[in-house]
Structure formats: C-alpha cells, structure tokens
Structure 1
Amino acid sequence: MKHISVLVPKGDVVVGSIEGPYKLFTHVNEFLQRDGKQPGFKIELVGQERETLLDNGIYKLNTHRTLRDSFKTDLIIIPAVHGDQRKVIRDNQDMIQWITGHYKRGAEVASLCVGAFILASTGLLEGKRCATHWLMANDFRRMFPEINLVAEKVITDEHGIYTSGGAYSFLNLILYLVEKYVGREMAVLCAKVFEIEVDRKSQSPFTIFSGQKDHEDVPVRKAQEFIEQNFQQKITVDQLASMLALSRRNLERRFKRATSNTTVEYIQRVKIEAAKMSLESSRENINEVMYKVGYTDSKAFRVTFKKITGLSPVQYRSKYSRLN
C-alpha cells in the first residue's frame, strides 16, 4: 500500500487541490475493495499544524499529521497556493525542507498547478521539465530561469517528480498517477465516474496570450506595442530594429530576455490570439479570419495556429464559438 501525503501549506491554498486528490485516491480504494481487493493507498493530510484555517477562516482543516511527525511516505502532493509566490515560499520554508528530505529518502513528489513554485524552490526541478498554470508562466520563468518550463503541457514526469498544468487540469495528473500505480483500467473507471477527459496532454487551447510587459526594457515594450497595434500588417524584425535604432541581434537578444519569446514568436502569438477572438465571436470563414490577422498563406496560418493552440482553426471554432 502506497502512503500519500497531501500537503497543507500556509497561505491562500486552493481547497479543491487538497480535496480533489484526497477524494479521487479514496474512491480508488473503494473501487478496489468493491472488487474484493486490498486498498492501494493510505491518504493523509500533512500540515505545519494539526489545524489549519483556509479561505480567510471559511474552512477549518484538520490534518492527520504534522511535519514534525516521524513517518515514511511514498508520494507527496503539493497543492496550489494563490498570491505572491515569493511570500508563499518564504512562509513555507519548513515544508520545502521536509519535501526535499523525503524525496532524498525515496518519496515521489507531485505539484498541482502553481504548487510548482513551492516544488521549484526545493531545487529538485533544476534541469528538469515543469508545467504550471499558463497564467503564471512568465512569473515562473523569471523566478526559476534554470528550470525548463513547458507551459503548454498538462503533465510532466521526470525521475519521480510530477507537475501539472493550471487549475483543475491537476485531475489529469491524479488519473495519470492512478494508472501508474494501479493500472489503466482503474484510471479509465475514475475518468468515467468523475467525468474527467482522460489523456489530455496540452493546456494550449486554454491559453490566453496577453504579452509579457512586466519588464524594464523600454525599447522592447515599444516593439510589443507596435506589434499589437499593427499585427494585421507584415512586420519584420529588421523593421522593428530600424524603428528602435537597434541592431537586429541586440533586439532579438533583449526581446527574448524580456518576454521569453523571440520577436517572430511574439508576432505570431499576437496574430493567433486575434484570430482566436474572431473564431469565437464572428461568423467569418477561416480564410477571412486569416486575412484579417495578416496571413496570406493558408497553410502557414493553419500550421502556426495548431502549433500555438493545439487545435486546428476549425476545431477551435467548434469548441469555443459563442455562436454555435
């Protein structure tokens, strides 16, 4: 039987990312016992104190154990904690050291959504891939530049360390772990009972691109603003460099450092975001949308659209149009 420790950190913890894993693994035990088998998991909540108040005191949560207790665990689950992630990390230093110690003694570790910030602060993710909520991707890259953030992924799995994408996509990671520990048949059963879309691998269709302007590079911000105001036109890197009196190489270097995108990637993402809005709200056909955002090559448009969103333009409209 695997021992699972669902952590209860200090701060504005997302209650669902504690209750969700606890409930799902508990139901796996019930399904196994219904079939005459032994339960697969012992699930416990572990906090800094026995009693924790969440959501400004709306919920009171009693943990099974505290960090001071001596016990062995097989899987540690780090839930999402909202707010200033630097403060979250400062407030949970004891928990961060506890996670590192148990990983070194053989435990696996899984972070849910922005729980990746706590996991990253342990140092265990260095040189590894990591997922988190796409909304926090730029903040994560700034705080942990040595970690390979794959913002489009729903799940990563490297050397006993797992991460998940944003919000309730953590349920896909829990299903993944159920399959890994108990088998595919049980994972599919849980997917059906909880009505979770199984095997979802990308959070790209949900991403809303709003640019990354939280930086101090004024010429780069001017380039971003120009792109966003003129995306319907053909914009080149040389044109931007000339406009800003920078060399192409200097602009490319500074743009990547400030925004985590190359200049061309940024232009593409602005165009595709505008195309997504049109597909959601208008009855224009795909070619009309394509021309409206500045593409003239239908193949290039479709390839770029799918690369960024994970869906074709037709699939995206079918999924998100308000006029269907």
Structure 2
Amino acid sequence: MPYFKPFKMIILGFDGVLGSVLSGALDLFSFTGVSWQRFSNESVEPRFNVQIASLGGGDIRCSNRLIMQAHCDIRDVTECDLLLVPTIGDSIDKVLKQNSELLPHLVRLANTKADIASNCSGAFFLAKAGLLDHKIATTHWAMPISLRQIFHWWTYKKISL
C-alpha cells in the first residue's frame, strides 16, 4: 500500500509546443523518486500520475516536427493537482491564435484546487487567459518586453543578480 497519494498532474499539449520540454516534463515528473526506488530495490510508488492532455485528445505537433500522442482530452479533465503549460516553441502569436480554444480550459481548471504553472514562454498562455492579472510571474529572460507589448497591463521588474 502506498504511503502517499500520487499527485495528479496534467501537462498541456498543444501544436507548436517545444517538443523537448513536453517530453522532458513527462520524464521528469513520471520518474520523480521512481529511479531511486528501483536502485534501492524498493517497490515502485510514483510520486506523480502524469498525463499529457490536448484539445480533443488528438496528436500534438511539436515545433521540431515531432508528433506526440496525448493521453487524454483537456475537456475531460475535471480536476488535477498540478497543470503545467510548457514552452511555446513556434511563433508566440501564431501558437496563441491557433490554440485559443485551450484558454477557457485553463481558466476552468484555475477555478478548481489545481496549481497552475508554466515553463518559459508558456506564461504567455496564462497571460492570454487572464490568469496573470495582478500576479507575479516569470518567463524567459529575453521575453518580458514581448509579454508587456502583447499584454499592456503587465509590468516587469528587472532583477540584478
């Protein structure tokens, strides 16, 4: 019997996603703790139950031309512990326009107990859905100006290291 309940995680798949980030996130969260358990000859108890969800559950055409198969339809996801929006690999404007039907599902899941995170330029999806209004967010170091130009309400603070 597991000593914990695995986190239910959904990774959002969309045409134009950066393929390495989509598959990398799947690997990272699917194998969190699992490799150690195997090396230690322990029974395998995954920490995350990870699925890639796309609109309609259809294939995902990554920016590197890799085609990945989704596990489920985002419309069927009623709850999750964590929703991850990975990096946009193609033109941000093009990807946001072509995948605009995903935005209501981000808002819908944000209104549940789900934590929502993005990787790099995935923050543009969250901004477009209105989920970053009056919030602190991070994105790639070269993208804050683009984010501000697209979403005029957004301001950023440059942090010196």
TM-score class normalised by the smaller sequence: 0.7 to 0.9
Which letter maps to 2:62?
L
Partners of 1:112 and 1:151 in 2: CA distance: 19
Size of the aligned set, in residue pairs, is 152
Structure 2 residue ranges without an equivalent (≥5): 1-5
Question: Following the alignment from structure 2 to structure 1, what is the Cα–Cα distance between the partners of residues 94 and 66?
Answer: 22
- RMSD, matched Cα: 2.1
Distance 1:62 1:137 in 2: 31
Change (3 A) 1:36 1:17: same
Tell me the TM-score normalized by structure 1. 0.43
Q: Percent identity, please.
A: 25
Change (3 A) 1:137 1:64: same
Aligned counterpart, 1:77: 84
Select 1:130's aligned residue among 122, 130, 137: 137
Q: What SS does the aligned partner of 2:134 have?
A: coil
Aligned residue for 2:3?
A: none
Q: Given the alignment of the two structures, is residue 120 of structure 1 paired with residue 127 of structure 2, yes or no?
A: yes
By relative contact order (CA 8 Å, sep 6+), the higher-ranking structure is: 2
SS in 2 for 1:28: coil
Report the 3-state secondary structure (helix = DSSP H, G, I; strand = E; otherwise coil) of the residue aligned with 2:76.
coil
Alignment of 1:62 onto 2:69:
yes
User: 2 CA distance for matches of 1:145 and 1:134?
Assistant: 18
By how many angstroms is 1:98 displaced? 0.4
Tell me, yes or no, if the aligned pair for 1:130 and 1:147 is still in contact at 8 Å: no
| One-letter code aligned to 1:76 | L
- Alpha-carbon contact 1:13-1:80 (below 8 Å) kept: yes
Report matched runs for 1:161-172 at 5 Å. Answer: none
After superposition, the Cα gap between the structure-2 partners of 1:70 and 1:8, relative to the gap in structure 1 and judged at 3 Å, is closer
Q: How far apart are 1:136 and its partner, in Å?
A: 1.8
Shift of the 83–70 alpha-carbon distance from structure 1 to 2, 3 Å rule, reads closer
TM-score, normalized by length of structure 2?
0.82
- In the alignment, residue 27 of structure 2 is paired with which amino acid? K
Q: Going by fraction, where is helix more abundant, 1 or 2?
A: 1
Q: Can you give the 5+ residue segments of structure 1 that lack an aligned partner in the other structure?
A: 153-306, 311-324
Correspondence for 1:7: 12
Structure of larger gyration radius? 1
